[in-house]
Structure 1
Amino acid sequence: MRMQDGLNAAILEALPMPVLIVDRQERVIVANAASRQIFGEAVQGRTFATVLRQPALMSALEAALRRGDQGRVRCLIQGAGREMVAMVSCAPIGSGAMLSFEDVTALEEAEAMRRDFVANVSHELRTPLTALMGFIETLRGAARDDPAARERFLSIMDREANRMNRLVADLLSLSRVEAEERKRPAQRVDVVSLVQSALVTLRPQAEAAGVNLLLEGGDAAIVIPADPDQLTQVFTNLIENAVKYGGSGGEVTARISRIPHEAGLRGPAVKIMVIDKGDGIDPLHLPRLTERFYRVDTHRSREQGGTGLGLAIVKHIVNRHRGRMRVESQKGQGSSFIVTLPET
């Protein structure tokens, strides 16, 4: 019998899920290793109310101890340096009760992200759709016989329809990138030629905006394992953003350099910087730039045709390539978007 008790204690101790056993006097008599990490090494021997004082959980514990009922309660736990949302199962065991804690923090965060994503997409689509519906109604009524008004409204409708098309394209692109994020690229490509190609593609747009595109450090090929289409998307996005939002400085530079040993990547790397001399970004916004639909200047971004997803796509592509991305900027001093990718 003692051997069986020892085996049960060893099993309980090895469980990855936090477990507490409470006696009829509501005192903690057993706390496994996972629960001690949350509630502290001295949790055993304490009255349960001093460990977690949550009314719903106390009611479930009393029901298990007094009536033999089983219950499941959601509770918020502060411990181990973080806040945890847990589903606590409370069940009678012998003359006491056992409480097991299932960490559902990640599930709830994912659900919150899903709700926010749906709300954001709905909002982004509602604005152009409302505009289109309003103009259609006007063209059927007051502007039916007004050629000038009809032409102006059709131009706006075309712009709003293109905006919705860009949004759908970016959503599909983001979905594909996220699906492939854990799949390492196997093809070896010249990163310099990809940057040069992006510059050539965007040069007409830059010239129309009065922005000069420059390349520094692209003298020799630098071959790395990469998905060429995705990296082209990264460089195109960053350079296009620099032209649109940092073009007031009249110059955008793509700078390529090699790093013999990048500590964060544990080996040789290539660094690509896209630098503008525009108005810069308030440091307050920098940590959130790669969030979906986050915009520093919402009105300006929409006027420029932005969907708010470009930098989120860039972040996921860089992650897939085991790289790093950071932004350096100050108001009035331009911005630098820096991508560092491993060479091996």
Structure 2
Amino acid sequence: MTIEGVHLLEYLQTPAMMVSRGQVRFANSAAKALLGAHIVGQDVRIAIREPRAVAAILSEKGGSARIKGLSTGGSEWEVDCKVAGPNERIVSLYDLSERISVAKAHADFVANASHELRTPLANVIGYCETLMNPKAGGDEALRGRFLGTIRHEAQRMQALISDLMSLSRIEAVKHEAPHDSIDMVALAHEVAGEFRDGTQVSVRANCAAAVIAGDRGQLSQVLRNLIDNSRKYARPDGPVEVLVEAASTGWVLVSVRDEGEGIKPEHLPRVTERFYRADTSRSRAAGGTGLGLSIVKHIVERHRGRFDIESRPAVGTTASLMLPLKPAE
């Protein structure tokens, strides 16, 4: 390979090396950043201590191999070797970690969604088959109870599908910054007013208005999810409070607080994961899908904000989001 060709490798963002007679003769900046500048002049078997990768590099026909842990413990890379001339090889290294991680996340998501749908669907089918039996179907009290269960399970599936569609829509626009002017004080009062039955929801604010650049529908969904969660897990007749605080630092803090049972510390790091439930049986009984807080987190991230949950068992939970205020025009 010519000197000019070797120097062209420097312009690649992909780590690349020129190997001649088993030694690394040239490595571009990306390769030196990955493996260390000392690899130039080294035997390739020392520069890359992975038998499969070395075998592909030293092969007469070139080849490729996948190796793990090249950059970090959980990383996965593909080493690709092309023959450039007698005893000369061009070696490129491709980081597959993110692609593999995304594929695994998608597979896990489909598996979890399928599992969540399978149980209520099995219940619906089972109760329907029972009602088809003339003896059971003819019992009016039994029929009414079974139909109530079927309705409940169908509503569970409907809620889950609705949340799955919400997540899909959020992810489709997650790289598009929202631009509508939204007053978080007015929105908090509006959404809190939707909850007229049961637990009283109050709103307090340290300002008359707190305007941000946002998506009204998504921010309404955030407040609705957080208030609904607090109402489900607050103590009977306990208060649920929404607090809106604008700060001189250019941010607005929106908090939803309850005085419920709280969340155990070991669960807090995972409560925004899809389908994760701190209390599985209670969450399902209350109609939860395990996706509400995940939806909240994704929406807040799209708005360039931060989401946090603080909780103490037997004291209560506070869910907070910080959003950048819109600069005055």
TM over 0.5: yes
Counterpart position of 2:320: 338
Q: Please identify, of 279-288 and 154-163, the stretch whose mean Cα deviation from structure 2 is larger.
A: 279-288
Equivalent of residue 32 in structure 1, options 24, 28, 35 = 28
Counterpart position of 2:258: 276
User: Aligned Cα RMSD in Å?
Assistant: 1.9
Equivalent of residue 46 in structure 2, options 22, 38, 50 = 50
Q: If the length of structure 2 is used for normalisation, what is the TM-score?
A: 0.92
Q: How does 1:245-260 map to 2 (within 5 A)?
A: 245-247=233-235, 250-260=238-248
Q: CA separation in 2, counterparts of 1:161 and 1:82? A: 44
- Structure 1 residue 256, shift from structure 2 partner: 1.0
8 Å Cα contact 1:248-1:277 kept in structure 2 = no
Is structure 2 residue 195 aligned with structure 1 residue 202? yes
Is structure 2 residue 5 aligned with structure 1 residue 8? yes
Aligned residues: 324
Q: How does 1:223-234 map to 2 (within 5 A)?
A: 223-234=211-222
- Structure 1 residue 201, shift from structure 2 partner: 0.8
- Structure 1 residue 219, shift from structure 2 partner: 5.7
SS state of the match for residue 146, structure 2?
A: helix
Q: How does 1:305-324 map to 2 (within 5 A)?
A: 305-324=287-306
Equivalent of residue 23 in structure 1, options 1, 20, 24 = 20
Equivalent of residue 216 in structure 1, options 201, 204, 210 = 204
Equivalent of residue 109 in structure 2, options 104, 113, 117 = 117
SS state of the match for residue 221, structure 2?
A: helix
Q: How big is each residue's C-alpha offset from its partner over 1:242-267, in whole Å with a ceiling of 9 and x where there is no partner?
A: 11123458121111111110xxxxxx
8 Å Cα contact 2:82-2:91 kept in structure 1 = yes
One-letter identity of the residue aligned with 1:57: A
Counterpart position of 2:268: 286
Q: How big is each residue's C-alpha offset from its partner over 1:150-177, in whole Å with a ceiling of 9 and x where there is no partner?
A: 1111100000001101111111111111
Equivalent of residue 283 in structure 2, options 301, 308, 313 = 301
Q: Please identify, of 34-43 and 156-165, the stretch whose mean Cα deviation from structure 2 is larger.
A: 34-43
- Structure 1 residue 21, shift from structure 2 partner: 2.5
Stretches of structure 1 lacking an aligned partner (at least 5 in a row) = 262-267
Change in CA separation of 1:48 and 1:252 when aligned onto 2, cut-off 3 Å = same
Is structure 2 residue 143 aligned with structure 1 residue 157? no
Is structure 2 residue 310 aligned with structure 1 residue 328? yes
Q: CA separation in 2, counterparts of 1:121 and 1:42? A: 48
Counterpart position of 1:264: none
Q: CA separation in 2, counterparts of 1:270 and 1:78? A: 42
One-letter identity of the residue aligned with 1:309: L
Is structure 2 residue 94 aligned with structure 1 residue 102? yes
Counterpart position of 2:227: 239
Q: How big is each residue's C-alpha offset from its partner over 1:212-251, in whole Å with a ceiling of 9 and x where there is no partner?
A: 3222226612222222221111111101101112345812
- Structure 1 residue 82, shift from structure 2 partner: 5.9
SS state of the match for residue 314, structure 2?
A: coil
Stretches of structure 2 lacking an aligned partner (at least 5 in a row) = none
Equivalent of residue 89 in structure 1, options 80, 86, 98 = 80
- Structure 1 residue 117, shift from structure 2 partner: 0.9
Q: Please identify, of 46-55 and 276-285, the stretch whose mean Cα deviation from structure 2 is larger.
A: 46-55
Q: How big is each residue's C-alpha offset from its partner over 1:289-326, in whole Å with a ceiling of 9 and x where there is no partner?
A: 22211111122111111111111111121122221111
8 Å Cα contact 1:249-1:278 kept in structure 2 = no
- Between Structure 1 and Structure 2, the one with more helix by share is 1
Q: CA separation in 2, counterparts of 1:18 and 1:212? A: 59
SS state of the match for residue 126, structure 2?
A: helix
Q: CA separation in 2, counterparts of 1:287 and 1:78? A: 28
Q: CA separation in 2, counterparts of 1:189 and 1:237? A: 18
SS state of the match for residue 203, structure 1?
A: coil
Q: CA separation in 1, counterparts of 2:74 and 2:36? A: 15
Counterpart position of 2:138: 145
Q: If the length of structure 1 is used for normalisation, what is the TM-score?
A: 0.88
**Which runs of 4 or more aligned residues in structure 1 lie more than 4 Å from their structure 2 counterparts after TM superposition?**
none
8 Å Cα contact 1:248-1:279 kept in structure 2 = no
8 Å Cα contact 1:224-1:342 kept in structure 2 = yes
Q: Please identify, of 154-163 and 186-195, the stretch whose mean Cα deviation from structure 2 is larger.
A: 186-195
